[in-house]
Every structure is written in structure tokens, then in C-alpha cells.
Amino acid sequence: MKTYFVTGGAGFIGTNFIKYLFESHGEDVRVINYDKLTYAGNREWLEAFEGKKNYRFVQGDILDKELLTTIFKEEGIDFVVHLAAESHVDRSLQSDIEFFQTNVIGTRMLYQVIHNVWKDDISDKRILHVSTDEVYGELEESGQFIEHMPLHPNNPYSASKAGGEMVAIAYRKTYGLPIVRTRCSNNFGPYQHEEKLIPKCIKNCLNHKKIPVYGDGENIREWLFVKDHCIAMDTVLLTGELGEVYNIGSHQEMSTLHIVTTILQYLKEHVDSSLSMDLIEFTEDRLGHDKRYAVDTNKIETNLNWTPKTDFENGMAVTIDWYLKEYRFR
Ligand code: NAD
């Protein structure tokens, strides 16, 4: 049995990832979910696993050296999946101190503790450092980000994520920590906090409230269904080459406006025929708003044999239905 230590496991991707681990590896895995439970974390989504012998939730901060050291000394951890982060770009424009504390200093604390505890024996141990395509900066209409390109983050969130990656690179090169990194595009799916675009749009539609869209709504992101990301993360963790970085994406490029109109149309068809496109309200553009992101995924597809399985329409239907049935908007 392998023990996974997942930081930020009570967040959007973490919750999906832990569920995926139990679904795909069954009784062969044990998971320690280590999460500070900021406003973005919700322990309840994985409550059904609490009390079972292969799941443990620990409320903790990745800046807490003592607690991390105790856990790494006592728990026999094999794999680390580092997801914990401040993740919302809009919040980083209001106040970014927590972003640099958690995403950079917290990452350094985590890797320093692991290095201290693991330094005499790292055989078979592996760490997945989860970064984002936002660290590359922005693209114009054409082209894709390739792993060897320089990082050029344009907002405090992406700068803090780029800083976290620099820590990962340094701890790999200096101390030989068994780290492999990923840079994924925008995820969508169940369990995402309602401050993010898709759940916020669903919420506003259900309440007949205006849906704010930045600028002209033509900023482009690549949208990957979260379960495909979970499969990719586990694939890179288990089979990726240490020290390397892998892009993860779907090639499904969409404008913000397309996302919002897709949700509006779906809800109009299935829930409330009185909904109208008039709910869309264009607002002043976000500071430092990157025009377009798109990732080249040749490396993960060719070397690790991973490809996304869920197309945008199906993933979106699953997502919207989940929010309608399972989520209580605040
Ligand atoms: P999220 O905000 O939903 O979850 C983050 C989790 O981290 C929360 O549960 C929070 O309580 C926890 N956390 C925050 N600070 C912590 C700290 N100091 N110590 C311990 N736990 C802490 O974020 P998410 O969307 O699930 O993203 C997870 C990771 O994936 C992040 O590193 C993010 O940068 C990366 N990522 C996200 C996306 C996306 O589209 N959501 C895309 C690419 C990469």
C-alpha cells in the first residue's frame, strides 16, 4: 500500500483528486489530506472517508514546520502531491501577501521539511509539484506554450506560482528531491468554489443576477475537465521523469463569453426558460489580464501516453448538473 500526502486536498482539485485515487486504486492507497481550510477549503466533501483506516484529514498550514515534520517522520509517506495554494487571481489583485506566503514560502517550508526527513532515503519516493499554465505569461492569437519557454508571469497569482516552481527546481537540483512538475490549463468540474467563473455564472443565472464579464469577454483559456487533470497528475507522479515539467491541457480553447453563454443556454433549456443573454454585463477589464493561454501537450501525450477523455460539452453538462443537485450556493 502506498501513502499519498496531498496538500490542499480540501480544495477543488484536491477533492476531485482524492476521490479519483480511491476510485482508481481502491484499497491500495492511503491518503493524508493536509489542508489549512482557508475560505477555499471544504472538509465536508470528503467526510464519507473520515474514520476509514486509509484516510486521514489533518488541518494544517504548509508553513507549519513542526506539524509537517511530525507527520513526515511518523506516517511513512511515499508520494506527495502539492496542491495547496492561494488560487484566485482576482483576490491576488486585492491583497497578494497570502499568495506569496503560501505559494512561495509555504512551498519552500514543505520541501525543506521533506528534505530534512527524507534525506537519508529517497528511494521510491516522489513529489508532484502542481503549477499552472499562467506562469508562461500570455499569447497572442496563435502559438502554444512549450515546456522549455521562459516563464513570464503577469499577475501576482501567477508570479507567486512561478516563485513556487523556482523553489521546486532549486530543491530538485540542490538536494536531489524527487520532484516532477506540471503546468495545467484551466480546470472545470464539481467541487469548485463559487467565487470562480463557472459556479459564479450558474449562481447568478439561478438568481437572475447580472453576470459580470471582464472587458469584451474575448480572453481565451483552455478548459480541461478536472477528472482528466486528476488522471494526468497521477500519471506524471508515478511515471514522469524526475526534474522534468509537463504541460497538461485539452486543446479546447474558449473565450470567457463562450463559457458564459454556454451556461446560460444550458440553464435556459433545462431549468428556466425565462433566462436571457441580457444578464451578461461587460465590466472594466481585469488588471494585467492575459489575452490567451494555450499549451502544447506533445510531451505528456508522447512520453507518458496521457490524453484527455472528456469533451467540453459533456464535462460542462456534468458540472452544471452537479451544481444544481449537490451544491448549496451561499
Ligand atoms: P483551491 O483554491 O480550490 O484549493 C486550494 C486549497 O489549498 C484549499 O483547500 C485551501 O484551504 C488550501 N490551502 C491554502 N493555503 C494553504 C496553506 N497555507 N496550507 C495548507 N493548505 C492551504 O485551488 P484549486 O483550484 O484546487 O487549485 C489547486 C492547485 O492547482 C493550486 O496550486 C493551483 O495553482 C493549481 N492549478 C489550478 C488550476 C485550476 O484551474 N483550478 C489550474 C492549474 C493549476
Sequence ranges of the domains in the chain:
2-187+226-250+289-309
Distance 12 CA to ligand 1 centre (A): 7
Burial class of residue 180, CB neighbours in 10 A (0-12, 13-18, 19+): buried
> In this structure, which topology does domain 2-187+226-250+289-309 adopt according to CATH?
Rossmann fold (3.40.50)
Annotated catalytic residue, options 134, 222, 228, 290: 134
Burial class of residue 242, CB neighbours in 10 A (0-12, 13-18, 19+): middle
Distance 126 CA to ligand 1 centre (A): 20
Residue by residue, pLDDT tens for the chain (330 residues) are 999 999 999 999 999 999 999 999 988 999 999 999 999 999 999 999 999 999 999 999 999 999 999 999 999 999 999 999 999 999 999 999 999 999 999 999 999 999 999 998 999 999 999 999 999 999 988 999 999 999 999 999 999 999 999 999 999 999 999 999 999 999 999 999 999 999 999 999 999 999 999 999 999 999 999 999 999 999 999 999 999 999 999 999 999 999 999 999 999 999 999 999 999 999 999 999 999 999 999 999 999 999 999 999 999 999 999 999 999 998
Nearest CA to 115 out of 189, 171, 53 is that of 171
Contacts of 166 (CB under 8 A, 6+ apart): none
Residue 228 annotated as catalytic: no
Measured CA distances, 28 to 21, 23, 231, 237 (Å)? 9, 10, 16, 16
Annotated catalytic residue, options 35, 64, 86, 133: 133
Nearest CA to 287 out of 146, 159, 104 is that of 159
Which amino acid, 158?
Answer: S
Please tell me if the CB atom of residue 165 comes closer than 6 angstroms to any atom of ligand 1: no
Determine contact, residues 137/152, Cβ cutoff 8 Å.
yes
Cell 500526502 sits on residue: 5
Strands 220-225 and 253-255: antiparallel
Q: Which of 57, 58, 87 to mutate to test the pocket of ligand 1 (most atoms within 8 A of CB)?
A: 87
Does ipTM come in above 0.85?
Answer: yes
Quick one: CA dihedral 268, 211, 262, 83, positive or negative?
A: negative
Question: What pTM did the predictor assign?
Answer: 0.98
Measured CA distances, 273 to 34, 56, 198, 267 (Å)? 43, 45, 19, 8
